[in-house]
Amino acid sequence: MRRGVTLTIGREAVVDFTLQVGSVAQEVTVNAEAALVSTTNANLSYLVDDKKIRDLPLNGRNYTQLALMAPGVIPIIEHLSRNDVSGGHGLKMSIGGAQSTQNSFLMDGQDVTDYSGQTPGSVAGTNLGIDAIREFTITTNNYSTEYGLVAGGVMNVVTNSGTNAFHGSGFEFLRNSALDAKNYFDPANQKIPAFKRNQFGGVVGGPIKKDKLFFLGSYEGLRERKGLTYNTPVPNTRAHQGYLPINGVEQFIGVNPGVQAMMNLYPLPNGPDNGDGTAQFINNPIQPSTENYVLGRIDAQLSDKNSLYGRYVFDQADVIRPGQLGIYGTTKYGRNQFFQLALTRVISSRWINETRAGVNRTYGNFDAVYFRDVPVSQLAVLSGRNLASIWDITSPSIPTSDGVFIETPRRFTDSIFEFADNVSYLRGSHSFKLGGIFKNYLANPRNNRNYMGTIMFPSVRDFMTGTPSQILAQINDSQLSYQQYLFGWFVQDDIKLTPRLSLTIGLRHEFTTVPSERYGRAASMKTVFDSGPALGQPLFVPHKDNFAPRVGLAWDPFGNGKTSVRAGAGVFQEQLVPSVLRYTYASMPHITRSFTLLAPGTGFLKADPSTVPPSTATGLNYQPNPSVPTRFQWSLDIQREIVSGTTASVAYVGARGEHLQYNPGINMFTPTCWPNNCTDNASYFFPAGPGIPRINPRFTTINAHRWDGNSYYHSFQANLTRRFSNGLQYQGSYTWSRNLDTAATSFASGVVSLNAGGPQNPFYMRAEKGLSPIDPRHQFSSNATYDLPFAKSARGIVKAVASGWQTNLIVTLRAGVPFNIAAGYVGTDGLGRSRSGFSQGTAAADRPSLAPGATIRTSGTTAGCGNLMPGQKLGTPSLWFDPCVFILPPAGTFGNLAKNAVIGPPLADFDFAMKKQFNLSERTNLQFRAEAFNVFNHPNFGNMITPIFAGSTGARNGSAGRITDTATDSRQIQFALRLSF
């Protein structure tokens, strides 16, 4: 028996041994761990084994959290107001500086990304099924040509299988608010928000027929009632009475009868006053969640050379989320199903063939619910439709819609049918692998944009006077059905040039067909000058010459397997499959009838749907022949086993992204320099006035989809790992990175709230080059497991009580991430235009200017401005940055502030667990666990999205710079019991 070699996903082990001549009955078993230093390939990867998955404290038992332990992997934390289904629900992450849509998530080699193209997960925000997982790897750079479709990283989960021995476990994890700490923003005079969570289930596996047929089944359930903490601006008590401060003097404005029903729905504030007619409202509504997860797997050993397995996953969840003001709320329902069959054939000692076929079907539904007695008849924009419209105040941002997006209701049903075949061949010093893949994508989105009706008010004053900037509504339902095919092939050769030097060379080629709407209902515009969208034409024709070469070198300089120097480079491409279009579903002009009123003045339209004529106010334009998003990756790293079982590594990792997606509005008001001398950002000037035409006067807005953004990523990565030995394992990683981009990653990366509004000027993207919203400059992550050495030699009751204890720890320290500053100004020229005059009905993309001689500060004190008193401390949740350093640019021009110019709060999180194991018999044990998340109760503040200026007055927003939520929960304690056999 040779111990010391275990093959894990994507790893190679070189083992030299000699077999002596023996009898037929002798058996050779390979059973142990491979060397920690990789001397055969240049892949940068991180393995999470079953011990870490079982032992480390995981909030919600979400195993994808452990991917954040790898160097170069950071989470993307969205703002609490992001409450939708289009962006998916799993833990979004950036791998090696890539956008969150550019990663691949595999289970046993099958694509299990959801309809958003991101981390799989339920609408409850979890990834259950830990007990059915054997291990997973996350590969961050220079991976094999076997993997494609994406330009970021690859996470591959391997599920457990049955064996000849029956085995399994049952568990119950319990949490409630009795031992939890308050959120930083919970009022001191109120109790901790209610919380109760039960996670329970089990797994069992064993033989159906000894040595031939095995089964494994797993179930996990989640039942949760979570108290949320909201801290939201609302009209203050005086505003309810019709009074509003103007230039520091309170004046009587009154409340227009047309908005009185809306004003009555606003709760009275119970928090601090902002000095601009608003004050904070803090509440703790209950959010119930339910989830059921099932996994089943059958393995068959057909012969000595042929094996087959089938695996099915069913994951269903629903969440009812109350809104921030208790007016509206949302219901989310999701169902994920993954099925795969895989056949492995050992053709000969040189040839192995792997064949896989699978189905990935994900579904998400998002709808509105009323939490208060909403007077539907008074708030319905469309008569005859029993739906109250939603409304929002732009500046200061008062999200009255409570997370009910203008696309509500919306639904996504996506299916991916996948077939792949790979062949491995060994000959001499060469190890060849080649294969092909076919995918059939079916996407069935339903997006009823403005089906409820949407009313937009630029400011509190405009709301009180009943002067909206826009009223929008869609007349009829919208349903689409897309189909698209993907074809790909790859070839790779791992060559042992010398006993110390290995070379990997490979090539991958993939392409997709033109996305088509199966019933001819999709329409788009070829250019911004088209008279209208045309039905049935291709949305775009993607390039097919997508060749991706990759090369890697691995050198063992001393020939003892304890040191390696590795280098690699390659091309990695993201294919334009339906998930890339998920945000276009909301803006695409389908065969629908809608209307948009611009600056309607006082009063509200209630339209009869049968009499409202169709409107082509919004258009959609695709880049006609886009190149696929491409990242050129390279790395150089050194690994060293510094002592037995402990390795250290340092690496330089870089990437250059091209053809990245962004989604600008392109039908601007005609500037004075158009189309002759607009050579730089400063030369654009947009005259005010109602007579200024747009580039295409037939439309108000034309949403474009472009693939010509760029990104630039450089990083230093270090890692220290001790394999579990003598009761101790630990691992720590550090990443220094700098990530710049020109693409507006608000859609492409899922960071909707951190970079809202898209590019300020899509016709001069060089001015958009700046910090990426996925760029924390420093990140440190570590984890450790230690078996306490108590009473190991004791007997009886002493051993039963004092032995079997284990401690586990996860530490995360991360610098703040950049976020965007919006001007927030909407003009008074009757068109609802932003300060630059470029945009229509929203000021989200406009940035302010930095005052001459001023610098952006998050420390020190403010000199004061407007209603902001001087001397207030910066870098606190009350005032994170100094809003007084920003000014409005001259009317008709863009601000000079760079994109994502402010760095948000840092994060520090410590999770701790204690475990006691009682050995009931040789094969049965009982574990008791106590886990504390954010054990030191450190408040980690979220970023803010508050604009600097308020509405059409240009007055400073009293809540600018104020943080109103946390990026992580306060301290939470969890107990668990697990019975294993």
pLDDT, tens digit (0-9, with 9 covering 90-100), for 504-535: 999 999 999 998 888 877 778 888 888 877 77
From 318-327, 538-547, 676-685, 812-821, the region with the lowest mean pLDDT: 676-685
Q: How far apart are CA 30 and CA 15, in angstroms?
A: 10
- Asked whether the predicted pLDDT for residue 844 surpasses 70, the reply is no
% residues pLDDT > 90 (the chain) = 51
- Asked whether the predicted pLDDT for residue 748 surpasses 70, the reply is no
In whole numbers, what is the pLDDT of the chain averaged over residues? 84
Q: Which amino acid would we find at residue 630? A: T
Q: How far apart are CA 204 and CA 183, in angstroms?
A: 39
- Select the more confidently predicted residue: 14 or 860: 860
Q: What is the pLDDT of residue 560?
A: 94
DSSP string, 618-646: EEEEE-SSPPPPEEEEEEEEEEEEEETTE
Q: What are the residues facing 216 on neighbouring strands?
A: 205, 297
For residues 895-915, give the mean pLDDT: 94
Q: What is the pLDDT of residue 445?
A: 82
For residues 320-340, give the mean pLDDT: 88
- Is 25 part of a structural domain of the chain? no
- Is 950 part of a structural domain of the chain? no
Helix, strand or coil, per DSSP, at residue 802: helix
Q: How far apart are CA 593 and CA 613, in angstroms?
A: 7
Q: Which amino acid would we find at residue 698? A: R
- Select the more confidently predicted residue: 101 or 953: 101
Q: Which amino acid would we find at residue 68? A: L
DSSP label at residue 891: T
- Is 964 part of a structural domain of the chain? no
Most confident of 111-125, 249-263, 430-444: 430-444
For residues 304-332, give the mean pLDDT: 91
Q: How far apart are CA 415 and CA 363, in angstroms?
A: 9
- Asked whether the predicted pLDDT for residue 154 surpasses 80, the reply is yes
Q: Pick from 662, 664, 653, 754: which is nearest to 712 by CA?
A: 653
Quick check: bond before 409 cis, omega within 30? yes
For residues 553-578, give the mean pLDDT: 96
- Beta carbons of 37 and 564 less than 8 angstroms apart: yes
- Asked whether the predicted pLDDT for residue 830 surpasses 90, the reply is no
- Asked whether the predicted pLDDT for residue 412 surpasses 90, the reply is no
DSSP label at residue 101: G
For residues 538-545, give the mean pLDDT: 89
- Beta carbons of 133 and 51 less than 8 angstroms apart: no
Give me the CATH number covering residue 145. Answer: 2.40.170.20
Q: What is the pLDDT of residue 826?
A: 64
Q: What is the pLDDT of residue 720?
A: 98
Q: How confident is the model at residue 31 (pLDDT cuts 50, 70, 90)?
A: very low
- Is 379 part of a structural domain of the chain? yes
Q: Which residues contact 156 (CB under 8 A, 6 or more apart)?
A: 9, 10, 106, 107, 109, 136, 137, 139
Cα 410 from chain centre: 19
Q: What is the pLDDT of residue 747?
A: 39
Q: What is the pLDDT of residue 651?
A: 98
Q: How far apart are CA 723 and CA 727, in angstroms?
A: 10
Q: Is the dihedral of CA 34, 35, 36, 41 positive or negative?
A: negative
- Asked whether the predicted pLDDT for residue 165 surpasses 90, the reply is yes
Q: Give me 130's structure tokens.
A: 């830990």
Q: How far apart are CA 695 and CA 670, in angstroms?
A: 6
Q: How far apart are CA 710 and CA 29, in angstroms?
A: 51
Q: What is the pLDDT of residue 385?
A: 59
Q: What is the pLDDT of residue 855?
A: 94
β-strands 454-457, 886-887 pairing: unpaired
- Asked whether the predicted pLDDT for residue 786 surpasses 50, the reply is yes
Domain count, the chain: 1
Q: How far apart are CA 28 and CA 1, in angstroms?
A: 5
Q: How confident is the model at residue 485 (pLDDT cuts 50, 70, 90)?
A: very high
pLDDT, tens digit (0-9, with 9 covering 90-100), for 633-654: 999 999 999 999 999 999 999 9
Q: How far apart are CA 50 and CA 488, in angstroms?
A: 32
List C-alpha distances in Å: 435 to 270, 387, 491: 63, 53, 7
The range of the structural domain enclosing residue 468 comes to 44-788
Q: What are the residues facing 779 on neighbouring strands?
A: 735, 814
- Is 251 part of a structural domain of the chain? yes
Q: What is the pLDDT of residue 876?
A: 95
pLDDT, tens digit (0-9, with 9 covering 90-100), for 685-712: 777 666 677 888 887 778 888 898 999 9
Residue 971 backbone dihedrals phi, psi, to 5 degrees: -60, 135
Q: How far apart are CA 965 and CA 186, in angstroms?
A: 10
- Asked whether the predicted pLDDT for residue 607 surpasses 60, the reply is no
- Asked whether the predicted pLDDT for residue 751 surpasses 90, the reply is no
Q: How confident is the model at residue 798 (pLDDT cuts 50, 70, 90)?
A: confident
- Beta carbons of 253 and 243 less than 8 angstroms apart: yes
Q: Pick from 164, 372, 358: which is nearest to 262 by CA?
A: 372
- Is 913 part of a structural domain of the chain? no
Q: Which residues contact 178 (CB under 8 A, 6 or more apart)?
A: none
Q: Give me 649's structure tokens.
A: 């590594």
pLDDT, tens digit (0-9, with 9 covering 90-100), for 916-973: 999 999 899 999 999 999 999 999 998 887 788 876 667 788 888 999 889 888 999 9
- Is 813 part of a structural domain of the chain? no
- Beta carbons of 811 and 775 less than 8 angstroms apart: no
- Asked whether the predicted pLDDT for residue 756 surpasses 60, the reply is no
- Asked whether the predicted pLDDT for residue 555 surpasses 80, the reply is yes
Most confident of 81-90, 212-221, 457-466, 762-771: 212-221
Q: How far apart are CA 854 and CA 369, in angstroms?
A: 46
- Is 85 part of a structural domain of the chain? yes
Q: Alpha-carbon Rg of the chain, whole angstroms?
A: 29
